[in-house]
């Protein structure tokens, strides 16, 4: 295969300590390779990046882009599409629809067009894994994977109740293999099961779960330990209890403390950082400083933000009771679906209004997190797409982080009381390009345990995004000059130049196979499909890569 | 695939095998616990299948038909693909229809072809649970997988359907009878209500049968919502619906007391007066009950993979059925872009019908128009629609001959385990060949 040289660009490759240095990147067979020792050797193709900014391809570690609830949201909201941007068919590309939940082809093109080359769907009931693989087959260009919901799985709850950590670990290993998933995800641990078994929710980390008698605390620590013991490249991915409720910061802090040094990723932490009284919305305020203080001193933890942006979007979650809560708050149409033995789900349209005190505070709380975490390697950019806003808002968030006057402009037009409920006004920090490169690619890749993503060192996947520097930061990040994925030029100034399916990234941890009999006995009693028809076979995977576990 | 014009030789296999965990695609139950005994090219036993499933498996005989016909004359596969591609690329308003009795893999390619040619794509949803789809877009839906019904549902309402005859294993496998995780005594732990205009076989299985007056489903559901919310309801409701207020109050009280309720509704609700507002009322009723307990609702889908069709069309275009791609991007409008309407108004100038037989069930004007335009038909059988096709492909049968994915009525995706090979190509193979040729033709033009 021919060599490609990206020549003369200003490179930001934080993992390799390269902070705005002019250098060439050599690419061969889809990987970054060393420059030839013979300085006169010519590449077969040269991409002139003189004056341009070169970064690794973006990595979205938490979004909702495929599977049953995403597709339900598409189905449920035709009204959001007519006026939205049209995605036209071209001789090379398929048509699609936008709105807050784009169709599959549009999702792939839009991520790639924005310079993101990898994305992970964050909440899949394993019973629906096959559906996700099918949608991934129609989500072009980007590499992708998904997290498997385990925090309300009945087998998991039983093993925790019975104090069987080996069986718990074996089951999660088996499940990730069966679904061809990437990581273990817990969503409102125990709370979803409470909702499913008669309504209600877990009040806090120590509320017992109906029928099982275990607590969210036990689920958090049990699964965190199992994920570590399995050597999964990404630790347990936690959506804490009490999402969205005023006063929930205490649950979040208690969750961090409960982990007692175990590795964990706390997702869309913005939604979990609220002070105030749950029964009185007017007391709603930020508790980011207190949480960030704990977070900063506990390096076992990483987070992504779940930034809120103003406008129309869709809340979609594996958190069934949360869906009901949002339906009650906003009175809009509501989808809920409970998956046997495994999970719940809620989908509700939502409009974040800048004149709403609560919404404007949510916006500010997200930014506080970016600005109050000392080490950018521990915070990843996310909107929890589409929950806080679309992934297409990342360039806007980058601009807000790099330019504090832009934040001040927004603060002038939002609800005036916001300043009293958070510390954003006092935060003068501005991100550098290097720090942006960390939170949008290097850090999420590292958190996911993807050794070949998020950097441009020798051996890295040749996923490269090349931007035209501009005083308009948002514009710069919205419209990369070139995007290269697996060594191929896929996007030029917003136009798709080449499409392919992209790779599935999944794990295949080894587990104690003698446990399968026990799993099967349980499965056959309660599921509505055959045990043999549960695992996803390789015919669904197309191009895929098993990411190694760590020992 | 054969290139010869003569019917493909059916290999005389005598080998005997058993295929376990195979899936029946005959109805929306999509039972995946079939144990098929296969002798050569026949299935001689279908353990666990119901009467309908047995008929589906055991009466499957490969017919001696040409792989393809053009204007009724035998043709090679390649000739037929060429003609199909010409028809589709020369049309200005081609419509793709059917899709509910084929695999998701084939559905994906069918939508792709419709996209490349700027056509319209629609599924049989538009003539069965299309109203439920529209209701869903209005109010949402609170639902669950069938395993949840099995494990938790202690109060079950069947509304506008006769599952005993249309979905024969629904009672035993998913809803009424099974012992569940939290219902150890099975049927004894459940209360079942049937709401229908006729006393069907299903009535025997129910504890409470509400025989309602035809065309009064909406009024009944609305009254139940009112009762649940504490609104005073006019006792005249009995004159409208045939059900007394006292009986209704009692049923609603029981719904509130249930731990986990479910309303399973059929086409008797969606295809009667009111259509999508009936579905909306029932979805809203189930939703409202979540103020008191957990309650869900679910349409009882008929065709084996109609749910897959809804999913595939949605993920590729953003809309579930009735999608027009003529402007280069998807637009959705039931009534405007749904096939029976498009044909009845004489709008389409070519059609591709996949695994469906509109000539046997569409209105006369729609059939007349379909007969008058060039069409491409994919069907294992010589259906009425295949008979009027310009190009007809004989295809293998999904689940019996070809692998692939189907979605059960509750969106659970299941892989098929075919019993024996067919000499005929699958829908997927035909559609892929057509897509390839369509793209070549379009490329040459641009
Ligand atoms: S209930 Fe339906 S899917 Fe199940 S065996 Fe009978 S016809 Fe087949
Ligand atoms: Zn999320």
Give the three-state DSSP class for A88: coil
Task: Please tell me the predicted confidence (pLDDT) of residue B11.
Answer: 61
pLDDT of B191 > 80? The answer is yes
Task: Please tell me the predicted confidence (pLDDT) of residue B4.
Answer: 59
Q: How confident is the model at residue A1 (pLDDT cuts 50, 70, 90)?
A: low
* Whether A200 contacts chain B with CB within 8 A: no
- Range 114-133 of A in CB contact (< 8 A) with B: 127-128, 130-131
**Residue A316 tokens, joined:** 């979609």
In this prediction, residues B305-317 reach a mean pLDDT of 96
**C-alpha dist (Å) from residue A419 to A286, A362, A424:** 10, 12, 7
In this prediction, residues A42-52 reach a mean pLDDT of 95
Task: Please tell me the predicted confidence (pLDDT) of residue B2.
Answer: 44
Short-list B334, B330, B401, CA closest to B102: B401
Which residue do the tokens 């599924």 mark?
B123
In this prediction, residues A525-535 reach a mean pLDDT of 98
Ligand that lies nearest to the alpha carbon of residue B58, given by its number in the listed order: 1
Pocket test for ligand 1, best of B22, B30, B53 (most atoms within 8 A of CB): B53
DSSP characters for A12-41? EEGGGTEEEEEEEEEEETTEEEPPPSSTTP
pLDDT tens profile A248-279: 999 999 999 999 999 999 999 999 999 999 88
pLDDT tens profile B139-176: 999 999 999 999 999 999 999 999 999 999 999 999 99
* Whether B115 contacts chain A with CB within 8 A: yes
Helical ranges in A263-379 per DSSP H: 288-296, 320-330, 357-372
**How remote is the CA of residue A278 from the centroid of ligand 2, in Å?**
22
> What contacts B184, CB < 8 A, 6 or more positions away?
none
Q: Which of B21, B287, B328 sits opposite A88 (nearest CB)?
A: B328
Chain B hits for A158, Cβ within 8 Å: none
Task: Please tell me the predicted confidence (pLDDT) of residue B1.
Answer: 45
pLDDT of B3 > 60? The answer is no
**How remote is the CA of residue B300 from the centroid of ligand 1, in Å?**
13
Task: Please tell me the predicted confidence (pLDDT) of residue A280.
Answer: 87
pLDDT tens profile A493-515: 999 999 999 999 999 999 999 99
> What contacts B411, CB < 8 A, 6 or more positions away?
A68, A128, A131, A337, B145, B307, B311
Short-list A268, A324, A57, A308, CA closest to A147: A268
* Whether A405 contacts chain B with CB within 8 A: no
Q: Which class does domain A55-451+458-496 fall in? A: alpha beta
Chain B hits for A88, Cβ within 8 Å: 328-329
**Residue A209 tokens, joined:** 């779960």
pLDDT of A392 > 90? The answer is yes
Give me the residue spans of the domains in chain B. 65-128+304-401+423-445, 130-299
CA distance A499 to A112: 10
CA distance B22 to A449: 38
Quote the distance between the C-alpha of residue B149 and its chain's center. Answer: 20
Chain A hits for B259, Cβ within 8 Å: 197-198
> What contacts B334, CB < 8 A, 6 or more positions away?
B126, B130, B133, B134, B321, B322
CA distance A524 to A517: 11
Short-list B157, B132, B153, B292, CA closest to B227: B292
Give me the residue spans of the domains in chain A. 55-451+458-496
Q: What fold does the segment set B65-128+304-401+423-445 form as a domain?
A: Rossmann fold (3.40.50)
For chain A, report the end-to-end CA distance as a whole number of angstroms.
34
Q: What is the pTM of this model?
A: 0.96
In this prediction, residues A211-229 reach a mean pLDDT of 97
Closest chain B CA to residue A536: B415
Helix (H), strand (E), coil (C) string for chain B? CCCCCCCCCCCCCCCEEEEEEECCCCCCCCCCCEEEEEECCEEEEEECCCHHHHHHHHCCCCCCCCCEEECCEEECHHHHHHHHHHHHHHCCCEEEEECCCCCHHHHHHHHHHHHHCCCEEEEHHHHCCHHHHHHHHHHEEEEECHHHHHHHCCEEEEECCCHHHHCCCHHHHHCCCCCECCECCHHHHCEEEEEECCCCHHHHHCCEEEECCCCCHHHHHHHHHHHHHCCCCCCCHHHHHCCCHHHHHHHHHHHHHCCEEEEEECHHHHCCCCCHHHHHHHHHHHHHHHHCCEEEEEECCCCCCHHHHHHHHHHHHCCCCCEECCCCCCEECCCCCCHHHHHHCCCCCEEEEECCCHHHHCCHHHHHHHHHCCEEEEECCCCHHHHCCCEEEECCCECCCECCEEECCCCCEEECCCCCCCCCCCHHHHHHHHHHHHHHHHHHHC
ipTM over 0.95: yes
| Minimum-distance ligand 1 atom for the alpha carbon of B169 | 1
Q: Are the C-beta atoms of A383 and A393 separated by less than 8 Å?
A: yes
**C-alpha dist (Å) from residue A121 to A63, A183, A304, A384, B383:** 5, 10, 14, 10, 43
Protein residue with least CA distance to atom 7, ligand 1 = B53
Looking at residue A549, what DSSP letter applies?
Answer: P
> What contacts A43, CB < 8 A, 6 or more positions away?
A2, A3, A4, A5, A26
Mean pLDDT of chain A: 96
Mean pLDDT of chain B: 94
> B130-299 — its CATH code?
3.40.228.10
pLDDT tens profile A445-459: 999 999 999 999 999
CA distance A37 to A50: 22
- Range 309-338 of A in CB contact (< 8 A) with B: 324, 327, 333-338
Task: Please tell me the predicted confidence (pLDDT) of residue A496.
Answer: 98
pLDDT tens profile B54-69: 999 998 876 789 999 9
Task: Please tell me the predicted confidence (pLDDT) of residue B6.
Answer: 67
Task: Please tell me the predicted confidence (pLDDT) of residue B274.
Answer: 84
Q: How confident is the model at residue A40 (pLDDT cuts 50, 70, 90)?
A: confident
**Residue A447 tokens, joined:** 């958190």
- Is the pLDDT higher at B136 or at A70? A70
Q: How far apart are the CA of A18 and the nearest CA of chain B, in angstroms?
A: 40
Q: How confident is the model at residue B14 (pLDDT cuts 50, 70, 90)?
A: low
> What contacts B131, CB < 8 A, 6 or more positions away?
B270, B271, B275, B276, B278, B279
Short-list B196, B297, B299, CA closest to B243: B196
CA distance B38 to B26: 18
Which residue do the tokens 């692998």 mark?
B403
| Ligand 1 pocket by Cβ (under 6 Å) | B 24, 26-27, 29-31, 49-50, 52-53, 167-169
CA distance A396 to A180: 34
**C-alpha dist (Å) from residue A67 to A121, A136, A210, A398:** 9, 9, 28, 28
């Amino acid at each position: 295969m021919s060599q490609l040289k990206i020549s003369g660009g200003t490179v930001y490759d934080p993992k390799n300590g390269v902070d705005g240095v002019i250098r060439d990147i050599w690419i061969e067979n889809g990987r970054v390779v060393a420059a030839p020792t013979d300085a006169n050797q010519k590449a077969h193709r040269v991409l002139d990046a003189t004056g341009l900014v070169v970064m690794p391809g973006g990595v979205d570690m938490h979004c909702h882009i495929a599977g049953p609830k995403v597709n339900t949201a598409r189905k449920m909201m035709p009204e959001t599409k007519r006026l939205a941007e049209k995605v036209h068919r071209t001789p090379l590309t398929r048509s699609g629809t936008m709105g807050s939940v784009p169709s599959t082809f549009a999702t792939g093109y839009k991520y790639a067009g924005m310079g993101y080359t990898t994305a992970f769907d964050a909440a899949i009931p394993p019973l629906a894994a096959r559906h996700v693989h099918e949608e991934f087959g129609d989500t072009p260009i980007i590499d992708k994977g998904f997290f498997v919901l385990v925090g309300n799985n009945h087998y998991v709850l039983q093993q925790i109740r019975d104090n069987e950590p080996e069986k718990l670990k074996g089951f999660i290993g088996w499940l990730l293999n069966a679904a061809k998933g990437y990581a273990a995800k817990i969503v409102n641990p125990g709370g979803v099961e409470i909702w499913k078994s008669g309504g209600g929710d877990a009040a806090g980390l120590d509320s017992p779960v109906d029928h099982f008698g275990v607590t969210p605390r036990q689920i958090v620590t049990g699964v965190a330990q199992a994920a570590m013991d399995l050597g999964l490249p990404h630790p347990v991915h936690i959506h804490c209890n009490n999402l969205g409720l005023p006063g929930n910061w205490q649950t979040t802090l208690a969750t961090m403390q409960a982990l007692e040094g175990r590795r964990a990723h706390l997702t869309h932490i913005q939604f979990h950082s609220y002070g105030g009284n749950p029964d009185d919305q007017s007391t709603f305020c930020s508790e980011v400083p207190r949480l960030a203080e704990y977070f900063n001193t506990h390096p076992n933890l990483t987070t992504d933000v779940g930034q809120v942006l103003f406008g129309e979007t869709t809340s979609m979650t594996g958190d069934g009771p949360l869906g009901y809560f949002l339906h009650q708050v906003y009175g809009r149409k509501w989808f809920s679906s409970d998956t046997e033995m495994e999970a719940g789900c809620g989908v509700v349209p939502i409009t974040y209004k800048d004149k709403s005190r609560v919404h404007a505070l949510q916006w500010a709380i997200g930014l506080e997190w970016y600005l109050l975490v000392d080490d950018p390697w521990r915070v990843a950019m996310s909107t929890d797409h589409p929950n806080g806003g679309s992934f297409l808002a990342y360039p806007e968030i980058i601009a807000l982080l790099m330019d504090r006057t832009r934040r001040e402009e927004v603060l002038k037009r939002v609800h005036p009381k916001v300043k009293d409920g958070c510390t954003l006004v006092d935060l003068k920090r501005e991100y550098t390009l290097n720090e942006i490169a960390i939170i949008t690619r290097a850090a999420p890749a590292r958190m996911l345990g993807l050794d070949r993503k998020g950097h441009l060192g020798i051996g890295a996947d040749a996923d490269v995004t090349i931007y035209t520097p501009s005083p308009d930061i948002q514009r710069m990040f919205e419209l990369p000059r070139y995007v290269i994925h697996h060594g191929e030029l896929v996007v030029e100034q917003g136009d798709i130049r080449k499409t392919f399916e992209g790779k599935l990234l999944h794990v295949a941890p080894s587990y104690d196979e003698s446990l399968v009999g026990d799993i099967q006995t349980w499965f056959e009693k309660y599921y509505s499909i055959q045990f043999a028809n549960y695992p996803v076979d390789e015919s669904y995977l197309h191009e895929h890569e098993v990411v190694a576990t760590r020992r | 695939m054969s290139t010869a014009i003569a019917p493909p030789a059916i290999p005389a296999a005598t080998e005997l095998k058993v295929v376990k965990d195979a899936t029946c695609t005959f109805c929306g139950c999509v039972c995946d616990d079939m144990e098929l005994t296969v002798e050569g090219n026949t299935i001689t036993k279908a353990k666990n299948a119901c009467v309908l499933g047995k008929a589906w498996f055991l009466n499957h005989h490969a017919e001696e038909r040409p792989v393809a016909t053009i204007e009724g004359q035998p043709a090679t596969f390649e000739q037929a693909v060429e003609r199909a591609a010409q028809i589709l690329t020369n049309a200005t308003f081609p419509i793709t229809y059917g899709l509910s009795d084929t695999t998701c893999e084939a559905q994906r390619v069918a939508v792709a072809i419709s996209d490349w040619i700027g056509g319209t794509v629609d599924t049989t949803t538009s003539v069965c649970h299309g109203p439920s789809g529209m209701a869903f877009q209005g109010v949402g839906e609170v639902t669950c997988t069938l395993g949840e019904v099995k494990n938790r549902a202690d109060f079950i309402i069947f509304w506008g359907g006769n599952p005993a005859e249309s979905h024969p294993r629904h009672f035993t496998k998913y809803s009424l009878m099974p012992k569940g995780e939290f219902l150890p005594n099975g049927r004894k732990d459940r209360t079942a209500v049937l709401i229908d205009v006729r006393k069907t076989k299903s009535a025997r299985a129910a504890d409470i049968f509400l025989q309602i007056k035809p065309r009064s489903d909406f009024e009944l559901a609305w009254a139940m919502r009112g009762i649940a919310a504490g609104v005073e309801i006019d006792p005249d409701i009995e004159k409208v619906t045939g059900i007394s207020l006292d009986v209704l109050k009692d049923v609603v009280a029981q719904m509130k007391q249930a731990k986990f309720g479910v309303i399973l509704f059929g086409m008797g609700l969606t295809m009667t007066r009111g259509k999508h507002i009936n579905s909306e009322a029932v979805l809203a009723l189930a939703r409202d009950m979540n103020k008191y307990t957990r309650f869900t609702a679910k349409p009882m889908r008929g065709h084996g993979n109609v749910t897959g069709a809804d999913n595939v069309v949605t993920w590729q275009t953003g809309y579930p059925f009735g999608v027009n791609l003529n402007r280069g991007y998807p637009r959705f409008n039931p009534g405007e872009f749904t096939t029976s309407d498009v044909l009845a108004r004489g709008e389409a100038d070519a059609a591709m019908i996949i695994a469906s037989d509109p000539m046997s069930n569409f209105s006369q004007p729609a059939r007349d128009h379909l007969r008058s335009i060039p069409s491409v038909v994919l069907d294992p059988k010589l259906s009425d629609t295949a008979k009027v096709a310009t190009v007809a492909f004989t295809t293998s049968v999904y689940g019996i001959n070809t692998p692939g994915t189907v979605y059960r009525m509750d969106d659970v995706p299941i892989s098929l385990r075919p019993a024996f090979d067919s000499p005929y190509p699958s829908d997927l193979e035909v559609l892929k060949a057509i897509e390839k040729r369509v793209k070549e033709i379009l490329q040459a033009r641009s």
